[in-house]
Amino acid sequence: MDSVLVIDFGGQYSQLIARRVRELRVFSELIPYDTSIEEIKRKNPKGLIFSGSPYSIASGGNEMPVIDKKFLSLGIPILGICYGMQLMARLCGGDIVRTGSNEYGKTEINLDLSSPLFDGLKIKESCLMSHRDSVGKVPEGFKAIASTPNLPIAGMEHPGKKLFGIQFHPEVMHTPSGMDILRNFLFDICGCSPNWTMVSIIESETEKTKETVGKGEVICGLSGGVDSSVAALLVHRAVGDRLTCIFVDHGLLRKDEAKQVIETFKKNLKMNLIHIDAKDRFLKRLKGIIDPEEKRKIIGEEFIRIFEEEALKIKNADYLVQGTLYSDVIESGTGTAAKIKSHHNVGGLPEDMKLKLIEPLRLLFKDEIRKLGIELGLSDEIVWRQPFPGPGLAIRIIGDITLEKIKILQDADEIVIEEIKRAGLYRKIWQSFAILPSIKSVGVMGDERTYAYPIAIRAFSSVDAMTADWVRLPYDVLERMSSRIINEVDGVNRVVYDISSKPPSTIEWE
């Protein structure tokens, strides 16, 4: 399978570049800039893309991410974007200057159409610029291929070495011809074939799992959501009945969720399933814990301990399948991405874990996993289920977790989901749920003073959970949720709506 890797210097659009490449059916992943050249060679990419970065080459500094010049001599085409172009210029002996006139936003650009990068485009296009530094003089062997009124060198090319740089961002919507530029790079310049399809992923993951597992036994942590169901289906294709799914009820699920998951599973997925009721065990360990990272670590560890115990009972299964996805991996901290939170199934794993992990979805985004689920014949009910985090309500009860709070939150959450479904919004919205902040406020019900919990409602749209925008829910939907929650859920006297997007907030409150 052809691939083009994105060398990540920490730019805000790095992942989007990888997504765009994948949309053109060429496999791509983010590679931290300090990855060794041997590792890159091992991955055998057909091209590289250097991402942007928050750092400035003109200002220098020790923290500035740089790579060895040898990267430019791998013999494969490279496209540098923004900082990536400047770094390429610097490594080849060009000049980087702080222009003084910053360019941010939509800008008209003149293109040299003789460059294969701009094949089929117009002489004038519009693009998104976001930079302070720029290339002042192209290095030897390069020529300028794009300019704006403020910027004489907005693009450059070394024709013989197939090295290209563009100061603007082709990966964003504000550059309408951006996908054409990427298409030219991938297919005409790198010579890739668009062979990264759902069918090819299914085939390669099945083969890989068969090879890894051999004749061994496998268990799978199944939550009932789309990720773990797709992961289970994929592995089931490879090992058949040697796979046993384990559904753990940690007592922090949504109302009646355990029953629903088991029914749906039995109806849709013909695989071995064990249901573990571990409510007491989890709640005992979480008693009095208020730190979000500690909650996640405890939950991650308890899950693994249960899986290990079950693995011993199943003729010593050695492998554990998890539905970890790419956004979990990135947000739990990679070489270049900062750690935001330890997703329970990535950063929350105990160090002494005995089971070996199989994570067939580790490099996929949620929308790609849904497409894979459809290809594998998974029912709409599972494919379109809104995501629910592994630590469940533990990270939606802010502060310490008690049975009383769990019951309040489950009841409120059920109303939120019912009303979202009633308004026909369930599939259109990425996630919608209730949060219980552990504070109390004063209210009046009848003639009585109340002193009770508020419930926060969160509903937002997203493509991959890496960024999210709060949904402008109709007032009547909000009003129905508010009045039903206050009237029907004991212990609540106030409802608020969370109107923060990600970034700067995260989706879950903890």
Indicate which residues carry an active-site annotation: 82, 169, 171
Query: Residues with Cβ < 8 Å from 228, sequence gap 6 or more?
Result: 220, 221, 222, 321, 322, 323
Question: Which tokens in the block code for residue 293?
Answer: 């990272």
Q: Would you give the DSSP letter of residue 169?
A: B
Amino acid at 473: L
For residue 341, state whether it binds ligand XMP (rule: CB under 6 A): yes
Of the candidates 333, 387, 399, 491, which one interacts with ligand XMP according to CB under 6 A? 387
Euclidean distance between CA atoms 494 and 433, whole angstroms: 16
Q: Which one of the spans 24-32, 41-49, 162-170, 387-395 is the region binding ligand XMP (CB under 6 A)?
A: 387-395
Amino acid at 249: D
For residue 333, state whether it binds ligand XMP (rule: CB under 6 A): no
285: left (phi over 0), alpha (psi -120 to 50) or beta: alpha
Q: What DSSP line would sit under 80-127, residue for residue? A: EETHHHHHHHHHTT-EEEEEEEEEEEEEEEEE-TTSGGGTT--SEEEE
| Distance in Å, CB of 363 to ligand XMP, minimum | 16
| Distance in Å, CB of 48 to ligand XMP, minimum | 28
Q: How many CA atoms lie within 13 A of 387 on its CB side?
A: 26
For residue 322, state whether it binds ligand XMP (rule: CB under 6 A): no
Strand partners, 143: 157
With contacts defined by CB under 6 A, how many residues of the chain interact with ligand XMP? 17
Q: Which one of the spans 83-91, 254-262, 341-349, 408-416 is the region binding ligand XMP (CB under 6 A)?
A: 341-349
Euclidean distance between CA atoms 188 and 115, whole angstroms: 11
Q: Which one of the spans 152-160, 275-283, 413-421, 502-510 is the region binding ligand XMP (CB under 6 A)?
A: 502-510
Identity of the residue, 125 or 257, whose beta carbon is nearer to ligand XMP in the bound complex: 257
Identity of the residue, 19 or 341, whose beta carbon is nearer to ligand XMP in the bound complex: 341
Of the candidates 389, 397, 405, 464, which one interacts with ligand XMP according to CB under 6 A? 389
Residue ranges in 438-497 that form contacts with ligand XMP under rule CB under 6 A: 465
Spatial CA neighbour of 346 closest among 364, 366, 327, 360: 327
**Residue spans of alpha helices (H) in 149-274:** 178-183, 198-213, 226-239, 257-268
| Distance in Å, CB of 468 to ligand XMP, minimum | 7
Q: Which one of the spans 16-24, 56-64, 108-116, 499-507 is the region binding ligand XMP (CB under 6 A)?
A: 499-507
| Distance in Å, CB of 338 to ligand XMP, minimum | 12
| Distance in Å, CB of 505 to ligand XMP, minimum | 8
Of the candidates 391, 411, 473, 481, which one interacts with ligand XMP according to CB under 6 A? 391
Q: Enumerate binding residues for ligand XMP (CB under 6 A).
A: 296, 331, 340-341, 343-345, 387, 389-391, 431, 465, 502, 506-508
